[in-house]
Amino acid sequence: MPGRARALAVLSLCLLNVFVIAAGAAVVKLTPDRRLTPQPPSVAFRDPVRAPASAALPAADPADGRPPNASVLAGRLSALIGGPRAKMNAVVIDVATRRPLFEWRADRPATPASTTKLVTSVAALASVGPAHRITTQVVQGAGGGIVLVGGGDPTLTALPARPDAGHPPYASLSDLARQTATALKTSGIGRVRVDYDTSAYQGPRIAAGWKPNYVPDGEVAPVTALAVDEGRVAPSDPSKKTRVSDPAASAAKQFARLLSRYGVSAKAGRSTVAQKGAVRLGAVQSPPMSALVEHLLTDSDNDVAEAVARQVAMKLGLPATFADAAQAVQRVLAQMGITQGVSVNDGSGLSTRNRITPIALARLVSIAAGEENPELRSVITGMPIAGFSGTLSPPRYTGAASRAGAGMVRAKTGTLAGVSTLAGLAYDADGGLLAFAFMAGDGKGPVDPGKLDQLAAAIAACGCG
C-alpha cells in the first residue's frame, strides 16, 4: 500500500479505536555501552480485534502484526540516540505481551514534563470512571446570600456555546445563573449576595516544583475548586494567556452580573462554606471524564489535568491537595500493577520534581491500549496523531526525517526548559503495535523535540520482521 494511503488507513483505525495486537518476540536490551543482550523469545497468540459494528471493517488477520526483530530495531534506534553520552532514556515494548523490545536506561527516572498527563489520565479513568461528571451548583446561603459552590470543574465557562467546538457542551455559567434566577424569583427574592465556596480543594494553589513564572505567564491558573474559563482574563482571545489572581472571586463577580441580567439584583460576596443539606437553586455539570481526558491530552491543558488529578483524590477519600492527589494517583497505579517508576508532585507535569521511568510510561500506554481495559480508551483517543492533531500538528512529522511517523504514531508530548519527552503508540511497517517512551534532556541544556519524532518515525518505518 502506498505510504500516504497506508497512513490514512491507519489513522482511520486509530480514530475508531481499533488496535492490532501483535505476537511476542525476542527482547534485546541495549546498554549505554551499545552492547546488545538478547533475551529468550516469547510467542503469544492473539484473538482478532473486534471493530465497532458500524465501522464495517474486517477483523485483524491473525497472521498480521508480528513485532519487529529486536536486534534490527535496536540498531536503528541506537544510531539515532547517538551513543552513551546522549541524555536520553528510552524504551519500546510490544503492546500484546508488554515485553521490552528496546531499552536504553529504561528503568532510570527522568523528568516527564507533560507526559505526566498520561499517568493522571489513566488513574482518573481507572478510579472515577469515564462517565464521571463534575458538578457546579448554587445553594441557599445565610443572611440573604446564596453560595456558588465549586466542585472543581475546569471547563465551566461564561462564553456562549459554539456548535463547531468539537467537544461536548461545557458547563455554562449563564445557564446556572438562569436556573438560579428562576428559582429565586419563584420564591419572591429579587436581591441577593453571591458568596462562593471553594472548600472542595485544600492546600496550596501552586505545586512544589512549579517555576515562579508559570502563573504570571498564563501556563496555568492558581488551582482552585471554582474558576470560570480557567481564570483567563480574556477567554475569547486565545492569544492572551494572562490569568486572574483569584479565579474564585472573579467567578462570583461574573455570576452576580449574570444574575442581574436575568432579573435578580446581585453583588459579589465573600468566601464561605455552604451548609450541608442547603437547598439547591441550580446546577450544571462538566462533560464526562472521558471527554476531559481527551481534551487534556490532545491540547496538553494544564488546568484540566490538575482538576482531573484532584478528582482521583476525592474518589479515594483524600483531601484534594497537590500532595494527596499525587498519592491517590500512585495508589491507583499500584492497583493496576505499576508499583515502581512513578513519583509525581502535580497532575500536569509542570513540576520539575516529577520523576517517571520510560518503562512505566510505556506500560501504562500498553494497559490503556488493551482490550481488557475499555474504560481507559480515551487515553488512546486523546493522544495527538502525528502530523495531524493537537501538539503533534504540523510542522511536526512533515519533514523528511520524521514523515514516516505521520498517521502511524499517536503520542503525548512533554516540554519543559531543557527537557523533551514523547510517549505513546506506533504501528510499524508490518502492522505491529508498539508502545514507546522517549525522554530527553536533564533540564540543563537545549533539547530537540525533532529527535524524538525521528525515533518514533523509525519505529513506524521499521519493516524489521
- Which residues have a catalytic role annotated? 114, 117, 300
* Beta bridge mates, 293: none
Residues near 155 by beta carbon (within 8 Å), at least 6 away in sequence: 170, 171, 286, 287, 292, 295, 304
CB 252, CB 156: distance < 8 Å: no
Phi then psi for residue 136, to 5 deg, are -115, 130
Biggest CA pair distance of the chain = 80
For 101-124, give one letter per residue: b (16+ CB within 10 A) or e: bbbbbbeebbbbbbbbbbbbbbbb
- One DSSP character per residue, 402-439 reads TGGGTTTEEEEEEEETTEEEEEEEEE-TTS-EEEEEEE
As a whole number of angstroms, the distance between CA 313 and CA 223 comes to 15
Nearest residue to 93 via CA among 364, 330, 333, 377: 364
From residue 199, give the alpha-carbon distance in Å to each of 154, 176, 271, 414. Answer: 15, 19, 9, 31
Strands (E), 10-98: 28-30, 36-38, 88-94
Nearest residue to 320 via CA among 207, 175, 424: 207
